[in-house]
Chain A
Amino acid sequence: MNQVLVTGLNGLSYAFILFLVAAGFSLTFGVMGVLNLAHGALFMLGAYIGLAVVGRLDAFWFGVVVAGLGLAAIGFALYYFFLRHLYNHPPEQGVLTIGIALVVANIVLWIWGPFAQMGLTPPRLTGVIHVGDLAFPIYRVFIVGVGLVVLGVLWWMQDKTRWGAIIRAGMDNKDMTVSLGINYGLVSTLVFVFGIALAGAAGFLGTPILGAYPSMGDNLLLLTLVVVIVGGTGYIQGTMLGALIIGVLDTFGKAYFPSAALFTSYVIFVIVLLVRPSGLIGRKVF
């Protein structure tokens, strides 16, 4: 029983890490329709920037802010100079952002070298929580909390604000949205920048668990794709559901069937594609 509880808690915290990895992508891809395959690389860049700040100043929260702001600047450049001109050209967006991902990964390798770095948890978040005779790291609880806050903010933004409505309208028909006198360019740029900044801050917050290494981007991109496709695009709650399913089932698979566990999430991925190609909660647009 205790074993099941610990595995469940681990799965839950892994699910929220997956959600933080995928949230920025889900926002820019699912809600805006922009295919940003550099997401994994930018997440990694956020981790490295945050680690560099913490290495100099030993200020954890400042690291989070700098990682977020730095990536916001990069996201703005990426959208304003490149992706803005490729509206509704997904293959081109994909090829462009693959190029960006290669550039970012190589620059990170150039500056910080090929070795993996681990983030340290800030003192206040170090240690374990005891539940009965079980110990659970505080930092993982903290990640779950951050994930819940991000989920709440994105959900509110998507469903309750005018901006969310504008973005959803622009995804369906940009010309119509613009002709109604809405400054779609401004709103879409800001939402994209917000998504990338989220990825950067999450990248640094994830370093005590995921670490940071130059080839991390590809691994994270694959995880993101699996989560987003299983959950369905267009709604942030779909991404949360996808992350929960993949995170919990993957952790249980690793605990109970270690030999076959490598492919748990991929098997789920293929089954979802065959049974519900638009994802579990997805906008069905055929």
Chain B
Amino acid sequence: MDEPKGDTIVGEAANEPTTESVPGDAQVAQGQAAAPVKRARGSLLRAVLPIIILGVVLLVLPTFIPSFLQSLVTKMMIFSIFAMSMNILWGYANIPTFGHAVFFGAGGYAAGILIFHAGISNFWLNLVLAVLFAAAVAALLGFPAFRVYGVGAGNTNPIYFLLVTLAFGEIAARVAIWARSLTGGSTGMAGIPYPDLGMGLKMTPSRYYYLVFIFAVVCIYLMYRIENSHYGYGLRGIHDNERRMQALGYNTWLYKYTSWVIAGAFGGVAGVLFAYFGGVMTPNSLAMQTSEIGFMAVILGGATLFAGPIVGVVLYVGIEYLASLYLPDRWPLILGAMFVAVIMLMRQGLGPMLVDVWRRLIRGSS
């Protein structure tokens, strides 16, 4: 695990004009994008130790837990990729979207269609094509979507953009229902087999766990590098004050558009992994029901924190599992109440609180 490499990038980029936040214009932003910078300046131990602990725990976990918990953790890792890709938009570039599941579903459906209709059984080829498809969908939808960014009350008010992305998700689900010969209609596509890695390995649930683990590590590392690169600081600058970034000569439209496509590609990776994991893709995986997981995790975990969405996903998937055991019929009610509670009571999310606890632990022990 070599996350600390990112620190050199942080050091260079800390001189960017984006770190000075301007009060007033950025009222719409729900936090300061500068927060992650402060965190990265702390000692190596503080930042890296939790990652190593988490990694080791996840590596040895499958030998200790029953298989249903193993699949639960697999699901958490898949949705961590999804939620973190959504946080590139929500937390870093200030592009709140309700339609991120479109890319998740596009990736998953593309993988299934390639298996059933194109006869491609090779996992890697399938993955590359499906992720390219998800990115292409993002690239296409980006044009109409970013036409409306900023329309509405105030200068950078994303209210209209939220509506458009929400409509995209619902329309995509209806397209999937309509194209029955390809997608299986409203019942969806079932029976997607475990992937064939092409190395003579028989895929089992526990091997799939490790495959997802590797993907999660690689994707999260890549997202970390992206968000802490020159480009990522450009996005944070747009989050804080888009007009100033424009005045500085940044093509903010291009920044937002490319971040949308990048997030779409990572969402597609999560979708492909999910398609192989559950074996089923339904129109719901394109629509609000799946996007909800993403922004719930982002808000619950804290959009200002790089790893915040992971906290959110763990809580979401855990509560969903408990609800499915005890109150399966009332799950939407519980979820809705969670949305209301999170927005009204803890808009900063749980992530920053956990970081605080961790800092105190470190200080107390040393």
Contact = CB atoms under 8 A, between A and B. Distances in A.
Are A and B genuine complex partners? yes
Nearest to A286: B150
Contacts of A228: 163
A91 B333 contact: no
Interface in B103-152: 143-145, 147-148, 150-152
A99 B339 contact: yes
Interface string B330-366: 1011011111101110010000000000000000000
Interface string A95-119: 1101111111111011000000000
Interface in B53-89: none
A75 B145 CA distance: 30
Interface stretch (B10-18, B37-45, B164-172): B164-172
Interface stretch (A11-19, A61-69, A248-256, A262-270): A262-270
B337 to A, nearest CB: 6
A285 B151 contact: yes
A274 to B, nearest CB: 5
B232 interface: no
A82 B152 CA distance: 22
Give chain B's interface residue range (CB within 8 Å of chain A). 35 or more
Interface residues of A, number: 50
B60 to A, nearest CB: 36
A216 to B, nearest CB: 13
Interface stretch (A156-164, A198-206, A218-226): A218-226
A277 interface: yes
B299 to A, nearest CB: 6
Given A90-B159, A285-B153, A222 B170 contact: yes
B28 A88 contact: yes
A204 to B, nearest CB: 23
Nearest to A172: B153
A228 B164 CA distance: 11
Nearest to A269: B167
A90 to B, nearest CB: 4
Nearest to A34: B159
B244 to A, nearest CB: 17
A46 interface: no
B230 interface: no
B143, B336, B339, most chain A CB atoms within 10 A? B336
Given A33-B159, A89-B30, A95 B153 contact: no
B25 to A, nearest CB: 13
A274 B144 CA distance: 5
B288 interface: yes
B170 A86 contact: no
A233 to B, nearest CB: 7
Interface string A171-208: 11000000000000000000000000000000000000
Nearest to B98: A94
Interface string B271-306: 000000000000000001000100110010000000
B295 A282 contact: no
B340 A99 contact: yes
B160 interface: yes
A286 B332 CA distance: 37
A249 B343 CA distance: 40
A218 to B, nearest CB: 7
Interface in A256-286: 262-263, 266, 269-270, 273-274, 277-278, 282, 284-286
22 contacts: A88-B154, A90-B28, A90-B157, A90-B162, A95-B296, A95-B339, A98-B292, A99-B340, A99-B343, A102-B335, A102-B339, A171-B153, A218-B170, A226-B167, A229-B164, A262-B178, A270-B144, A273-B145, A274-B144, A274-B147, A277-B151, A285-B151
Given A90-B157, A171-B153, A225-B163, 7 more contacts: A85-B344, A95-B339, A106-B333, A107-B333, A229-B148, A262-B178, A285-B150
Interface of A: 29, 33, 35, 37, 82, 85-86, 88-92, 94-96, 98-107, 109-110, 171-172, 218, 221-222, 225-226, 228-229, 233, 262-263, 266, 269-270, 273-274, 277-278, 282, 284-286
